[in-house]
Structure 1
Amino acid sequence: MSTASSDEEDIRLQAEVPEALNGARLDVACAKLFDQYSRGRLQGWIEAGRLLLNDVPQTRSRHPVVAGDRIEIDAEPEQSDTIEPQDMPLEVVHVDKAIAIINKPPGLTVHPGAGQRAGTLQNALLHHFPQTAAVPRAGIVHRLDKDTSGLLVIALTLTAHSRLVAELSRREFTREYDAIIQGEMIAGATIDEPIGRHPRERLKMAVVDNGRPAVTHYRVQERFEQHTHLRVRLETGRTHQIRVHMAHIRKPIVGDFLYGGPMRGAGLPVVLREALKAFPRQALHARELEVTHPVSRKRIGVVAEPPADIQELLRLLRAHARGELK
């Protein structure tokens, strides 16, 4: 028995392995349970880390299943045409024969989707690194929201892709973010709350009992009046995870119009209040990324400071803290 639910970004496939498929390979079982998709396409989703077996990522197509196992796949909608290379600027902070690390600006969509076939990071990667045409999703292993800036690792070969996906599934990426949140925090903590699709608003995620495990660690970097600068480390990588978890503890990210609600700033100086009100995106930046190199097997880490908009907001918050704004 299989079910599917869909939205603009992906299709959620769910099924329980019947007795007739006990002991079958994972890809064979998926081909039987989700026969609307080709076996090759299902293998691609498995290798890309889009399948959970009993709530645990499984990237080996040959893995045997047992009757009663629960399978869940975040399936991509079929695209009617190919993704074209596009000459767009990219800030490449590291590149070798196997991987590239990109510092994505805010406002850049990572993947093409419904209504947007050009102007994405994937289009740019196909131009700057033509070899990624032979790699799933042009080598994109993990995502950032359109309006989140920061570091992404790109696989330039199939081998690198397979190894990075497996590393990500084992939660071995180190990913740290800068976040400016509404509200004052005294100390850091860990948020361990499952995340799934919002029960009523399909464009949003939420903390829900039947969601997928999600763990976010944060520590205080700077304290300000009515706001806090956090460093946030992801243990898992659910859609909108940091934004959802911060909103869940009623400390939403500045500029997050989807999860944050109205800007708070009563009593702050006019120039700071207006800057907070006008901030055009969630104040969230993926500043640090560390992975095991898929060929050398050595840890490689890079840091990218926040872009100008977050830097300017921090400057105003610090100036107010020093009593320089009236």
Structure 2
Amino acid sequence: MSQTIEQTHIVPDTMTGLRLDQAAAELFDEFSRERLKTWIKGGALTVDGQQMRPRAPVMAGATLVLNAVLEENPVWEAEAIALDIVHEDDDVLVLNKPVGLVVHPAAGNYSGTLLNALLHHAPELATLPRAGIVHRLDKDTSGLMVVAKTLAAQTSLVEQLQARRVKREYDAIVIGAMIAGGKVDAPIGRHPADRKRQAVVANGGKPAVTHYRVVERFRGHTHVRCRLETGRTHQIRVHMAHQRFPLVGDPVYGGRLKLPAGAGEALKETLRHFSRQALHARRLAFTHPTGHETVEFGVELPDDMFMLLDILREDQAQT
């Protein structure tokens, strides 16, 4: 099965002087660099309408246009990995992803991923791009994901995501006593100094909007609920850190461990050993691809976040 890809990106100021293949790898980040190189060499990825070499430098404001055919999926192995399935019908599968499960195979994670598990659960997904996966959660973020089981369903879900019609709500535990909720409307792109991280980028970032509200406040932490309008890489983690309320346990954006003054030993030990970002996709709603009604799903907090909240409440009560 093949799929026609048509995408356009404008080179931001932060990428001026980068090689074309490097800039393309960041702008068209759902495709591998090798695949992008092949498209560049074949003329399927052009710069201002012109074919260029992969090593050619690009300038800010240049228009990169990708018009290519994505050939049949790579052959990934099916693996018997348990799935926590919340709902399944002929068109979609909704699951509760556990902490530690990588969504899609990539360098360093060619097996043991959600995609491998999906192929075992439903072998027919091998005929779909990315085995029906339409959005991702970070390895150490838990919670709800929807997977398409037919090409029509996948097309519908992708269109809904692009049109911001999929409702996604997350529970997060952040560092700091937040006074009130709010909205972060700040573009996100690659960090200018550390290409493995994302950051709020004034020029060239992709639009990103996060709404958040306070659920429960503690002495030095806050339980917040975040709703995504967009779905950029690490969006909630980046936006909360940008607001100076980084997520508990975030190894990339959380900074150094901060223990509240006067915290009890139980809380100190819990915070020291909470080794993943405290983020959980709790609610998911979308229009069913064939039924056309709005369907909504929810899951409870995982044990580690539930226990952290309990200990925060106990610590609060002792003050």
TM-score by length of 1: 0.79
Does the alignment pair 1:119 with 2:136? no
5+ long unaligned stretches in structure 1: 15-30, 43-67
Question: Which residue of structure 2 aligns with residue 310 of structure 1?
Answer: 305
Does the alignment pair 1:236 with 2:230? yes
Question: C-alpha offsets along residues 103-144 of structure 1, whole Å, 9 cap, x if unaligned?
Answer: 000000000001221000000000001111111101100010
Question: C-alpha offsets along residues 225-275 of structure 1, whole Å, 9 cap, x if unaligned?
Answer: 100000000000000000001111111000001101112113211110110
Q: Aligned partners of 1:231, 1:292: CA distance in 2, in Å?
A: 22
Structure 1 residues 87 and 36, CA, compared in 2 at 3 Å: closer, same or farther?
A: farther
Q: Aligned partners of 2:104, 2:217: CA distance in 1, in Å?
A: 35
The secondary structure found in structure 2 opposite 1:305 is coil
- Are 2:73 and 2:129, in contact at CA under 8 Å, matched by a contact in 1? no
CA deviation after TM superposition for structure 1 residue 319, in Å: 1.4
Q: Which of 80, 89, 107 is matched with 2:82 structurally?
A: 89
Q: Aligned partners of 1:238, 1:307: CA distance in 2, in Å?
A: 23
- Are 2:79 and 2:112, in contact at CA under 8 Å, matched by a contact in 1? yes
The secondary structure found in structure 2 opposite 1:146 is coil
CA deviation after TM superposition for structure 1 residue 304, in Å: 0.5
Q: Which of 147, 157, 180 is matched with 1:154 structurally?
A: 147
Question: Which residue of structure 2 aligns with residue 249 of structure 1?
Answer: 243
Amino acid of the residue matched to residue 12 of structure 1?
Answer: L
Amino acid of the residue matched to residue 146 of structure 2?
Answer: V
Q: Which of 264, 270, 291 is matched with 2:265 structurally?
A: 270
Q: Aligned partners of 2:94, 2:86: CA distance in 1, in Å?
A: 6
Q: Which of 73, 93, 104 is matched with 2:97 structurally?
A: 104
Q: Aligned partners of 1:160, 1:268: CA distance in 2, in Å?
A: 50
Q: Aligned partners of 2:154, 2:74: CA distance in 1, in Å?
A: 23
Structure 1 residues 79 and 283, CA, compared in 2 at 3 Å: closer, same or farther?
A: farther
Bigger mean CA deviation after superposition, 311-320 or 224-233: 311-320
CA deviation after TM superposition for structure 1 residue 306, in Å: 1.1
Amino acid of the residue matched to residue 222 of structure 1?
Answer: E
Amino acid of the residue matched to residue 248 of structure 1?
Answer: H
Question: Which residue of structure 2 aligns with residue 295 of structure 1?
Answer: 290
Question: Which residue of structure 1 aligns with residue 6 of structure 2?
Answer: none
Question: C-alpha offsets along residues 57-91 of structure 1, whole Å, 9 cap, x if unaligned?
Answer: xxxxxxxxxxx994467x9x999952111000000
* Aligned-pair identity (%): 51
Structure 1 residues 120 and 318, CA, compared in 2 at 3 Å: closer, same or farther?
A: same
- Are 1:13 and 1:72, in contact at CA under 8 Å, matched by a contact in 2? no
- Are 1:5 and 1:13, in contact at CA under 8 Å, matched by a contact in 2? no
State the aligned residue count: 276
Q: Which of 210, 219, 224 is matched with 2:213 structurally?
A: 219
The secondary structure found in structure 2 opposite 1:255 is coil
Where does structure 1 differ by over 6 angstroms across 4 or more consecutive aligned residues?
77-80
Amino acid of the residue matched to residue 106 of structure 1?
Answer: V
Q: Which of 132, 139, 151 is matched with 2:132 structurally?
A: 139
Does the alignment pair 1:5 with 2:30? no
Structure 1 residues 167 and 320, CA, compared in 2 at 3 Å: closer, same or farther?
A: same
Does the alignment pair 1:200 with 2:217? no
Q: Aligned partners of 2:43, 2:130: CA distance in 1, in Å?
A: 17
CA deviation after TM superposition for structure 1 residue 5, in Å: 1.9
Bigger mean CA deviation after superposition, 107-116 or 262-271: 262-271
Structure 1 residues 132 and 260, CA, compared in 2 at 3 Å: closer, same or farther?
A: same
- Are 1:175 and 1:234, in contact at CA under 8 Å, matched by a contact in 2? yes
Amino acid of the residue matched to residue 238 of structure 2?
Answer: V
Map 1:154-193 onto structure 2 (within 5 A).
Answer: 154-193=147-186
5+ long unaligned stretches in structure 2: 1-9, 12-19, 30-35, 46-60
Question: Which residue of structure 2 aligns with residue 25 of structure 1?
Answer: none
